[in-house]
Amino acid sequence: MDDYPFPPQGWDPAPGWDQTSGWDPPHGWDQQEPVEHGDDSRWYDDDAGPVVRPYALTRGRTRTAGEPFDLIALITVDPDHPAHAGAGPYAPVPGLTPEPAAALELCRSRTQSVAEIAAEFDLPVGVVRVFLGDLLDAGLIRVSRPVSPAQLPDERILREVINGLRAL
């Protein structure tokens, strides 16, 4: 387990956490009076929202500064980034939260579109766009913007598509 020191580097301990003895909560922390809610303040079912709001994964950010990612923009790992250098097991990138890390792993095996990543992790497209923006800023991925049909270089591609469909 030496590969995964606990607590991890850069970890911000919660109040009451002691590095040596562990959890040492303030006295009386579990003796609080239950908070009374008026009936108006109760939310049920869908009104209460999902257990984890999707954008909690992006620390509340709903968009990135850069150009938005198209649904079929293709994501490949940036081979120039040290994290992707060499063969062998994939070295986890420090500081990455689980979802972007898993997305990165997915892109490492095969080029993925934004839509595929969202569908794979059952996350809203907007959330995926935000963390892909982070990965791009960090130089971990490359993005290939879609080519509109009007900009296709020649008929060859469409012919290939037709033949490919027939061969399915």
Partner 1 sequence: MASEHSDPTADDTAPGRGSAVPVRRAPGTVAGGEPPLALKILVAGGFGVGKTTLVGSVSEIRPLRTEERLTEAGRGVDDTGGVEQKTTTTVAMDFGRITIREGLSLYLFGTPGQDRFWFLWDELALGALGAVVLADTRRLEDCFPSVDYFERRAIPFVVAVNCFQGSRQHAQEKVARALDLEPGTPVLLCDARERESGKRVLVELVEHASRLHTARLLA
Per CB under 8 A, 158 contacts partner 1: yes
HEC string of 55-119 equals HHHHCCCCCCCCCCCCCCCEEEECCCCHHHCCCCCCCCCCCCCHHHHHHHHHHHHCCEEHHHHHH
Q: How many CB atoms lie within 10 A of CB 89?
A: 6
Q: Find the shortest distance in angstroms from Cβ 77 to partner 1.
A: 10
- What angle do the packed helices 125-137 and 98-109 form, to 10 degrees? 80
Q: Which two tokens stand for residue 127?
A: 């959330």
SS3 label, residue 141: strand
Per CB under 8 A, 137 contacts partner 1: no
Residues 9-68 that bind partner 1 (CB under 8 A): 49, 53-55, 60, 62-63, 67-68
Looking at 57, 83, 100, 116, which residue binds partner 1 (CB under 8 A)?
116
Which of these ranges, 4-12, 13-21, 23-31, 72-80, lies near partner 1 under the rule CB under 8 A? Answer: 72-80
Binding site for partner 1 (CB under 8 A): 49, 53-55, 60, 62-63, 67-68, 70-74, 76, 79, 111, 113, 115-116, 118-120, 122-127, 129-130, 142-152, 155, 157-162, 164-166, 168
